[in-house]
Amino acid sequence: MPNFYGTEIASRLMLGTAQYPSPAILAEAFRRSGAGIATVSVRREAGGERAGEAFWALVQELGVALLPNTAGCHSVREAVTTAQMARELFDTRWIKLEVIGHADTLQPDPFGLVEAARILVGEGFEVFPYCTEDLVLCERLVEAGCRVLMPWGAPIGTGLGLNNIYGLRSLRAHFPELPLVIDAGLGLPSQAAQAIEMGYDAVLLNTAVARAGDPAMMAEGFARAVEAGALAHAADPMEPRDMAAPSTPVLGKAFL
């Protein structure tokens, strides 16, 4: 099972908490998923409304580890300030760091991401950076003090799956001991299974479950998929080959 900053998590599935049709459906999706971590974003609200208190109570009742994130931040300053707020609100050093660089693709800003990671690590945060599969960027994040990397499979909310298999395999091979999580872009359980089969430690998703016709059923599907992927990876699967190979032995066969 994945181990993040010394904390072992009981599931390879991580779920976001946004966009669900209702709080009850969110809770049921988490129950059927067995997810070990819930991501939560910090949103500004008027002080007199206290609208976030009911949501915070619901999240606490899920009984899973919380990973606050800096979703929607487009600058280093905004991301660092949001992380500081999250630490006070959720009483955790964990932070999923997002510094968005492109409005249409929601691709991370690599320069701002590294700068923000360095600042937050210096302040004692345990940073989970949302990044691309670029090896150079990931090396800079590790040098900044990140002990987990969270490369995207595809742009957030697209459901396109693992767009760059070569890049993701290269990243896994380059950091064999570092916890790696596929974050964003997954749309189907089969894509999650593929990521775990490749040796990734976990997957994080939100839209694929929250926007499904039956979010709880889809959550359970993803839970089963990551278990299947983990078994396949541990079983040392056969290598693909170009030529056919008979599965039935020909030794002793009568040739007429």
Nearest 10 degrees: Cα torsion 129, 41, 122, 180: -20
CA distance 76 to 184: 21
Structure token digits, residue 231: 């078994």
Told to judge if 96 belongs to the known catalytic residues of this protein, a careful annotator would answer: yes
For residues 210 and 20, the answer to whether their CB atoms sit within 8 Å is yes
Helix (H, G, I), strand (E, B) or coil at 165: helix
**Binding residue per annotation — 167?**
no
Pure H helices in the chain? 23-33, 52-61, 76-90, 110-122, 135-143, 165-174, 189-197, 207-210, 215-234
**Binding residue per annotation — 207?**
yes
CA quadruple 36, 197, 18, 91: dihedral sign: positive
Catalytic site residue from 96, 118, 140, 172:
96
CA distance 215 to 139: 36
For residues 115 and 91, the answer to whether their CB atoms sit within 8 Å is no
**Binding residue per annotation — 184?**
yes
**Binding residue per annotation — 206?**
yes
CA distance 88 to 67: 13
Q: What's the distance, CA 24 to chain centroid? A: 23
CA distance 79 to 99: 6
Residues carrying an active site annotation:
96
Q: Which residues are annotated as a binding site?
A: 157, 184-185, 206-207
Binding residues for 1-deoxy-D-xylulose 5-phosphate: 157, 184-185, 206-207
